[in-house]
Amino acid sequence: MGVTTVTDVRQNDRSAESVLTKLFRSEQGGHEQVVLCQDRASGLKAVIALHSTALGPALGGTRFHAYASDDEAVEDALNLARGMSYKNAMAGLDHGGGKAVIIGDPDTLKSEALLLAYGRFVASLGGRYVTACDVGTYVADMDVVARENRWTTGRSPEHGGAGDSSVLTAFGVFQGMRAAARTQWGEPSLRGRRVGVAGVGKVGRHLVDHLVADGAEVVITDVRADAVAGITTRHPEVTAVSDADVLVRAPLDVYAPCALGGALDDATVAALTATVVCGAANNQLAHPGVEKDLADRGILYAPDYVVNAGGVIQVADELHGFDFERAKAKAAKIYDTTLAIFDRATADGVPPAVAADRLAEQRMADRVTAAEWLRPVAS
């Protein structure tokens, strides 16, 4: 097993030049380290990107996906790692941002040997990166990775972990939505409000439970009929529509994108009837400028990486011996954090997404220099 940093790759390799361009390009740059990992015996090809360790060890999940190209995988790792720096900073965690991607179809490539090899690569970073679950990886996978790497979270309770993080993710989104309701309508409650939830998988279904309990009128959609049926069976008062296009055009007070990224594109923003957007999906803004379009239409946007941080709060707590009530109490603070972002946005005259970035960057700048946390304490 060997580790190759991106700076070691030959300059006459076109793919390497493309990787270097992405790494150092101003709009995506600033990453401390990018590691390319390969284990031929198991078929592992992975990219580990560390954006920042200013606040502490980089923390972020491992995505297992069949990318169209290796270059696309690197770009995804860079973008996701940068996003984790901001998410962890705004969640008040002493962690920087990192992300890993394993290249390939998890249904055909994933094996115990591959996960163990991946664990060895993560371990070789000596604690600079703490991994967890993401798209294509699950609690059982992290149990395997942890056999070779002690810097692994998202494990099963049987193996000392916290298990599925969707419960606290949904709880945090609900807290962010309460903060948006207070800002928009004066009361931190969704009672009597019509909320559209696009995507009722692991996180979305828990969010629906919170909304129904709070007295909201809920409308849902999902590409999977069984997911919709599971909600409407448990909550007969919930209404379902055919797809997200129908949902965003329906009369709503709140729109909650809880499925794929890029949900807020030009067409969706133009069609939205809701005056609050707050959901669990990552990377909801399809491109720069969408945040301003939302603000110009009078739509209050709760930044996704702020309100969906309950999951990362849970896995971070796992490093200290998981305590659900302690993690839940920290996730509850998403309410206060979201309010602070709305206040900062008003004071600065900028959209909430810009205010959130400024607050995250301020916290990272105010803390110790990168890797200070790795230095031994003087006796």
Active site residues: 99
Instruction: Give the residue among 68, 17, 19 at the shortest CA–CA distance from 47.
Output: 19
Q: Which strands sit side by side in the sheet containing 194-198, from one edge to the other? A: 239-240, 217-221, 194-198, 254-257, 276-277, 300-301
Q: Are 50 and 32 in contact (CB under 8 A)?
A: yes
Helices (H), the chain: 14-24, 70-90, 106-109, 112-123, 139-145, 166-185, 202-213, 225-234, 244-249, 266-271, 290-296, 304-307, 310-318, 324-332, 334-348, 352-366
Task: Find the farthest-apart pair of alpha carbons in the chain and give their distance in angstroms, rounded.
Answer: 64
Distance CA 199, CA 196 (A): 10
Q: Are 101 and 62 in contact (CB under 8 A)?
A: yes
Encoded tokens for 95: 């962690």
Instruction: Give the residue among 135, 60, 90, 51 at the shortest CA–CA distance from 302.
Output: 90
According to DSSP, the β-strands at 217-221 and 239-240 are parallel
